[in-house]
């Protein structure tokens, strides 16, 4: 399931039925491609979170490839997120156990931006951005309840931390024994979609304030394995 949290978005041309594209998007910006299951597909996939497999391979103008899996966004909706890293014309190919989408190909264009890029390790002891090699000075805080508290408390806390120049916060993406247990998954194969939509919105708000969300997807004592949560 960890891979479901870490996925990012797309912009596409040449759209199949049930597939929603994005407009042209600057590099390092998030965009989404949405796939809606039809009635026959939904009948065959009662729990799309478990049984639907859909992924897209993207190839940049510099021939760099990225493979992004879709995540279940509730109901009949699957979403692929992708952030293009090179300006210019990208190519993509869909592979899926939904035959309607499998093998579809297309192209899209990413535009220039002044975003510094993703954060990567530098020299084993420091962090920097992928574009321009500018240093990233990590200043983090912990907010375990980031996805569980009420909206006003969350926004007030975030605004205060942004004003104090924090640029990272870590928090739980799954409840644990003694802390919001059972709030994120109704059973091992059924995530609470409403919770994850709310968490998704909150990560976007953190990002809008210049704060990166560092996901805690499990806890000590091999907690994640003990839950039996499906790793889709």
Query: Per residue in 150-162, is it b (16+ CB within 10 Å) or e — as a string?
Result: eeeebeebbeebb
CATH fold of the domain at 2-111: Immunoglobulin-like (2.60.40)
Query: Please, are residues 71 and 38 in contact by the beta-carbon 8 Å criterion?
Result: no
| 32-59 pLDDT tens trace | 999 999 999 999 999 999 999 999 999 9
Query: Per residue in 45-59, is it b (16+ CB within 10 Å) or e — as a string?
Result: beebbeebebebebb
> HSE (CB half, 13 Å, CA atoms) of 207?
12
| 113-166 pLDDT tens trace | 999 999 999 988 899 999 988 899 999 999 999 999 999 999 999 999 999 999
Q: Which residue has the higher pLDDT, 186 or 23?
A: 186
Same fold flag, 2-111 and 128-227: no
Architecture of domain 128-227 in CATH? Answer: 2-Layer Sandwich (3.30)
Question: For the chain, what are the domain ranges?
Answer: 2-111, 128-227
Nearest-angstrom CA–CA distance, 205 and 40 = 36
Neighbour tally for 3: CB within 10 Å: 12
Q: What confidence category does residue 182 fall into, taking pLDDT thresholds of 50, 70 and 90?
A: low
């Amino acid at each position: 399931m960890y891979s479901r949290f870490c996925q990012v978005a797309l912009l596409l041309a040449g759209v199949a039925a049930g597939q929603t594209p994005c407009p042209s998007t600057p590099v390092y910006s998030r965009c989404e491609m949405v796939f809606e299951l039809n009635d026959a597909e939904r009948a065959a996939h009662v729990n799309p979170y478990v049984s639907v497999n859909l992924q897209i391979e993207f190839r940049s103008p510099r021939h760099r490839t990225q493979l992004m899996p879709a995540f279940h966004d509730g109901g009949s909706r699957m979403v692929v997120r992708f952030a293009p890293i090179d300006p210019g014309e990208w190519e993509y190919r869909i592979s899926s156990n939904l035959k309607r989408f499998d093998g579809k190909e297309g192209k899209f264009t990413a535009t220039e931006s002044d975003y510094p890029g993703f954060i990567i390790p530098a020299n084993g002891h420091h962090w920097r951005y992928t574009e321009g090699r500018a240093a990233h000075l990590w200043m983090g805080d912990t907010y375990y309840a980031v996805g569980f508290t009420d909206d006003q408390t969350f926004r007030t806390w975030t605004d205060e931390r942004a004003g104090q120049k924090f640029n990272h916060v870590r928090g739980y993406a799954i409840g644990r024994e003694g802390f919001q247990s059972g709030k994120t998954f109704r059973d091992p194969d059924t995530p609470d979609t409403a919770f994850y939509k709310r968490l998704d919105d909150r990560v976007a708000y953190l990002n809008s304030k210049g704060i990166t969300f560092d996901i805690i997807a499990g806890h000590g004592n091999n907690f994640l394995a003990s839950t039996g949560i499906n790793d889709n």
